[in-house]
Amino acid sequence: MRLLGGYVRRYFLQWLAWRSFALTLVANQAVTPLVGLAVWSTVLPERRLSDYFIALLFVRLLTSSYENHTFSEWVYQGGFCDDLLLPHPPVLVTLGENIAIRIWHIIIGLPIVAAVVLFAPPSLRWQDVALALPAVVLAAAIRFLFTYALALSAFWIERAHSVVGLGSTLIFLLGGEAAPIALLPDAVRPWAEALPFRAMLGFPAEIAAGELNGAAVGMGYLWQVIWLAVMVVAAQAVWRAGIRRYTVVGG
Amino acid sequence: MRLLRILGRVLALSVQRELAHRVNLTISVTMMVIDLAASVATLGLVFTQTATLAGWRPAEALALLGAFQLVTGLLNTFIEPNLAWFAEKVTGGRLDDTLLQPVPSFFMLSLGACQPLALPRVLLGGALLVWATVAGEGVTALGVAGCVALLAAGVVITWAVRVLLATLAFWAPGFEPSVLFSAFWQLGRYPVGVYHPVVRQLLTYVVPVAFVATFPAEALMRGGGGLGLGLGALGAGAALLALGAAGLAWRAGVRRYTGATS
C-alpha cells in the first residue's frame, strides 16, 4: 500500500508537467457524455436524462484508463524490462500511474462539470449519490483490470491500441453511453444489464440519477462483484501467459 | 500543376508503404468498420425512441453521419498527419528543411505528408451517403450537386481552420490545439440543432463542423428548392474567407519563425 502511494505521488508530480496534455485528455473524455446529454435531452426532454449524463460524465472521468498508452507503449519501447527487476509486482507501477491520471482528470474535469451543472442544473438526491459511491469504486477497479488485460496483448501483437479501442467501443455501445441501458431495445437490454460494460460505466450513474429501485441496485452490485472477480482472474491469467512470451533485446 | 504532381507522388509512395503491411491494414479497416457500425447503431438507438432528432428524420441523420465520416477520413488522411502536434515542430526547429525547399511552404507543411490508412473511411462515408440517398425521399439532382459543392467547401474550410489553429504555435508555442480540435470535431456527427445555442454558434463559426456534416446533408436531403443553392453559395464564400485568413496567418507566422538548427 505504501509502495502504491509512492507511485501515485510520483506519477502525480510527473503529470504536473504534462497538465496541458491532461487537459486535452479530459476534453476527449468529456465530449461523448456531453454529446449524449445533448442528443438524449433533445429526444426525450420529459425524462430528465441530464441527471444521468452528468453523473456519467463524472463516472467516466473517475474510471478513465489509458493502459494501452502507459503499459503497452512501455513494452514496445523495451523500458518495461526495468519494471520486471523491481522487488514488487510490476502492476503496482501501472496502477499507480492510472490513479495519478484519474486524480488529474478530476482536478481538471471539475470546472467542466461545474459549467455543465450551470447550463443544466441537475436534481440529484444525496442519498442516491452516496449509494452510488461504492459502485464508482468498483467500476473504476473493473475498468482498470479490463483495460490492463487488453493492454497486455502487447506481449503478442503490435496493435494493442486496436484491442483496447475495441473494448472501448463495446463499453460505449453496451455500457450506457450511446444510450442509457433502460432505453436499449428489449432484445439487447437483459444482456447489457448483465455484461461487464455496464458495471464499468453506466451502473453507478444510474444509481446516482435515482433511476433504480432497491432490487435493481442489489442486482447491479452483485454483477459488479462477479465481474470484478472474473477480471482479476482473467488479468492474472493473461499476465502469466504473456510474461512467458516476453523477450527483450539490449542491455 | 507541379505541386499537384508532388502531392500525388507523396500519396502513391505512402499507399505503397502501407500496402506492404497487410495485417496492419486489415486490422485498421476492421476497426474502422466496427467504429462506423457503432455510430450507425447509436443512431438506430436514438430513432427507436423518437421519429425525428431536432427535426431530422432517420435517412437525413444517416446522410449527415456519412458526410461526417467522409470528411473525417479526408482530414485524417491528408491534413492531420501534417498539422497534429505542429507546435512541437515549431519549437523543435523542424520546419527548416521544408522552408528551404523550392515549393510553397504553406502546401508542403499542411498537405505534404499523408496517412492512407484513414482513406477507407472516406469510402465508408460515401457508401453511407449513397444509402441515405436511396432511403430518403425527394432527393433531387440539384440537392446532390449542392451536397457535393458543400462537401468540397467543408473540406477546404476544415483545412483552413486546421492551418489557422496550427499557426497559433508561432505565437503561443505552449498551446497545442490538436486534441481540443478533435474533441470538438466529434460534435459534428449529430445535427448542430441538438446543442445549446452557444455551442451551435461555436460549431458554425469557430470549429465549423456544421459546414462539414449538417449543411451538406441538409442540401442533399432537403435541397430541392433554392436551399441547396443558397447553402452552396454560403459554403463557397466561407471557404474562400477561411482559406484567405489561413494564408495570411501562415505568412505572418512563418515570418516569426526562427530556425533552431545551425
Nearest Cα residue to B53 out of B193, B188, B184, B185: B193
Q: What is the pLDDT along chain A (251 residues), one digit of tens a residue?
A: 888 888 888 888 888 888 777 888 888 888 889 888 888 988 888 877 888 999 999 999 999 989 888 888 888 888 888 888 888 888 888 999 999 999 999 999 899 888 888 887 888 888 888 899 999 999 999 999 999 999 998 888 888 888 898 999 999 989 988 889 988 888 889 999 999 999 999 999 999 998 888 899 999 999 999 999 999 999 999 999 988 888 766 54
Contact B253, B88 (CB under 8 A): no
Q: What per-residue confidence (pLDDT) applies to A250?
A: 56
Is A250 part of any domain? no
DSSP string, A169-207: HHHHHHTTSSS-GGGS-TTTHHHHHHSHHIIIIIHHHHH
- Domain that residue A167 falls in: 2-245
* A53–chain B nearest CA distance, Å: 14
Q: What per-residue confidence (pLDDT) applies to B224?
A: 62
* A49–chain B nearest CA distance, Å: 13
ipTM, two decimals, is 0.81
* A21–chain B nearest CA distance, Å: 8
Whether A166 sits inside 8 A of B34 (CB atoms) is yes
d(CA A151, CA A65): 10
Nearest Cα residue to A201 out of A131, A123, A117, A143: A143
Q: Which residue on chain A is closest to B24 by alpha carbon?
A: A159
Whether A185 sits inside 8 A of B54 (CB atoms) is no
Q: Which residue on chain B is closest to A163 by alpha carbon?
A: B31
Q: What per-residue confidence (pLDDT) applies to B125?
A: 92
Query: What's the rounded mean pLDDT across residues B62-76?
Result: 91
Cell of A4: 502504491
| Element holding A20 (H helix, E strand) | helix A19-43
Q: Which residue on chain A is closest to B180 by alpha carbon?
A: A24
DSSP SS3 for A236: helix
Q: Which residue in B24, B27, B176 is closest to A20 by CB distance?
A: B176
Contact A155, A75 (CB under 8 A): yes
Show which of residues 229-248 on chain B sit within 8 Å of chain A, judged by CB atoms. Answer: none
- Classify the C-alpha dihedral B166-B168-B171-B173 as positive or negative: negative
DSSP SS3 for B52: coil
Cell of B16: 505503397
- Candidates B30, B31, B175, partner chain A, best to mutate (most A CBs within 10 A): B31
Cell of B159: 483545412
Beta-bridged to residue B56, according to DSSP, are B53
| Residues whose CB is less than 8 angstroms from the CB of residue B158 and which lie 6 or more positions away in sequence, other chains included | B71, B74, B75, B79, B208, B211, B212
* Mean pLDDT for chain B overall: 84
* pLDDT tens string B190-229: 888 888 888 888 888 777 788 888 888 888 888 666 677 7
Query: What's the rounded mean pLDDT across residues B231-250?
Result: 87
- Answer whether residue B156 shows pLDDT above 60: yes
| Residues whose CB is less than 8 angstroms from the CB of residue A43 and which lie 6 or more positions away in sequence, other chains included | B46, B49, B50, B53
Residues in chain B with CB shorter than 8 Å from the CB of A173 are 38, 41-42
d(CA A143, CA A197): 8
Cell of B96: 527548416
Q: Which residue in B24, B45, B187 is closest to A31 by CB distance?
A: B187
Whether A20 sits inside 8 A of B174 (CB atoms) is yes
Q: What per-residue confidence (pLDDT) applies to A60?
A: 92
Select the more confidently predicted residue: B82 or A196: A196
- One-letter identity of residue B243: L
Whether B24 sits inside 8 A of A159 (CB atoms) is yes
Q: For residues B23, B28, B31 and B33, what is the CA-based torsion angle, rounded to 10 degrees? A: -110
Q: What per-residue confidence (pLDDT) applies to A119?
A: 80
Q: Which residue in A23, A35, A41 is closest to B186 by CB distance?
A: A35
Cell of A134: 461504492
Q: For residues A80, A84, A89 and A90, what is the CA-based torsion angle, rounded to 10 degrees? A: -10
d(CA B24, CA A41): 40
Nearest Cα residue to B195 out of B41, B53, B39: B53
Whether A28 sits inside 8 A of B182 (CB atoms) is yes
Whether B183 sits inside 8 A of A21 (CB atoms) is no
Cell of B193: 440543432
Contact B169, B175 (CB under 8 A): yes
Nearest Cα residue to A165 out of A153, A176, A155: A153
| Overall domain count for chain A | 1
* B80–chain A nearest CA distance, Å: 16
Select the more confidently predicted residue: B75 or B136: B75
Whether A43 sits inside 8 A of B50 (CB atoms) is yes
Q: Which residue on chain A is closest to B41 by alpha carbon?
A: A173
- Candidates B27, B182, B203, B207, partner chain A, best to mutate (most A CBs within 10 A): B27
d(CA B65, CA B60): 9
Q: Would you report the helix, strand and coil content of chain B in percent, each value rounded to 5?
A: 80, 0, 20
Residue pointed to by grid coordinates 501515485: A8
What is the gyration radius of the CA atoms in chain B, in angstroms? 19
Is A20 part of any domain? yes
* B42–chain A nearest CA distance, Å: 6
Q: Which residue in A30, A38, A169 is closest to B35 by CB distance?
A: A169
Distance, CA of A123 to chain centre: 25
Q: What per-residue confidence (pLDDT) applies to B261?
A: 57
Q: What per-residue confidence (pLDDT) applies to B262?
A: 45
Highest mean predicted confidence (pLDDT) among A135-139, B47-51, B137-141, B201-205: A135-139
Is A26 part of any domain? yes
* B25–chain A nearest CA distance, Å: 11
Q: For residues A226, A227, A232 and A236, what is the CA-based torsion angle, rounded to 10 degrees? A: 120
Whether B24 sits inside 8 A of A42 (CB atoms) is no
Contact B218, B231 (CB under 8 A): yes
DSSP string, B208-247: -HIIIIIHHHHHHHHTTTTHHHHHHHHHHHHHHHHHHHHH
* pLDDT tens string B86-122: 877 887 777 787 788 888 888 888 888 888 888 889 9
Query: What's the rounded mean pLDDT across residues B60-70?
Result: 91
Cell of B48: 427507436
List residues of A whose CB lies inside 8 A of any B CB. 20-21, 23-25, 27-28, 30-32, 35, 38-44, 119, 158-159, 162, 165-166, 169, 172-173, 178-179, 183-185
Residues in chain A with CB shorter than 8 Å from the CB of B182 are 28
